[in-house]
Structure 1
């Protein structure tokens, strides 16, 4: 078979060209391109690591700033609550003073009114005593036919009012 006999001749030629091709590929790609790709990958890894470190530093700084802000906010809130409490206390004291002054005015008006009522009562009682004395004189005059002096009638009315 002639095809089998040619196989050895063509086979060695194909192996030779295969080795030449792989040698060229090895030197071009393996020695020329792979180191460049590896450098690019290591640069990219370095850049990623640097970016992660920068992000971590920025996050740490942001956390510190947030903590400082929270502390200031809490201090401001406490100061505001103190101001509100002071304002409430001041308002309560002012209201207490106003209430005391109003109570004093009311007490004065009440005392004046009570004095006026007492004076009116005294005047009314004196007038009632006078009318009762006159009525008693008139009644005694009509019923008993006896004339009673105004002083005696007033005395009898006073005694009757004191007991009754």
Structure 2
């Protein structure tokens, strides 16, 4: 095979050119490109580190603001609840006062009505006594034929109402 026979003649030339191209490739990639890539990676790592530090700083600041907001919100909530409690208390006192005033007016009306009823009862009792005395005079005169005086009839009716 002629291809294998040529191998010995061209082998040293191929090795030489392989080493030349490997050296050139190593020089360009190893000495020129890799340091630039490594520098870019280092800058990127530094930028990421700086960004992470800034993000942590921003998170800490946000946490502090949130805690301050929560504290302020809790204070405002407590103040609002105190205002509500005071308003309820004031409303309850006002309602109690109004109810007491209304109860006083109702008690006064009730007392006045009871006085009118008592006066009407007394008046009615007086009229009943008068009517009963007149009826007793009339009954005695019709049944017994005796004429009874008005004071005697009134006296008898009063005694009967007391005992009856």
Normalising by the residue count of structure 1, what TM-score does the alignment of the two structures yield? 0.95
Aligned twin of 1:74: 74
Counterpart check, 1:158 vs 2:158: yes
The C-alpha deviation readout for 1:80-102, integer Å capped at 9, x for no partner, is 11101100000000000000000
The C-alpha deviation readout for 1:90-141, integer Å capped at 9, x for no partner, is 0000000000000000000000000000000000000110111111111111
Give me the whole-angstrom Cα distance separating, in 2, the residues matched to 1:43 and 1:138.
136
Aligned twin of 2:133: 133
Give me the whole-angstrom Cα distance separating, in 2, the residues matched to 1:17 and 1:96.
112
Unaligned runs of 5+ in 2: none
Unaligned runs of 5+ in 1: none
Give me the whole-angstrom Cα distance separating, in 1, the residues matched to 2:75 and 2:154.
84
| Structure 1 segments (4+ residues) deviating >2 Å | 1-9
- 1:4 positional shift: 5.4
- 1:9 positional shift: 2.7
- 1:3 positional shift: 5.6
Normalising by the residue count of structure 2, what TM-score does the alignment of the two structures yield? 0.95
Pick closer, same or farther for the CA change 1:3–1:159 going to 2, 3 Å.
Answer: closer
Q: How many residue pairs end up in the alignment?
A: 164
Aligned twin of 1:60: 60
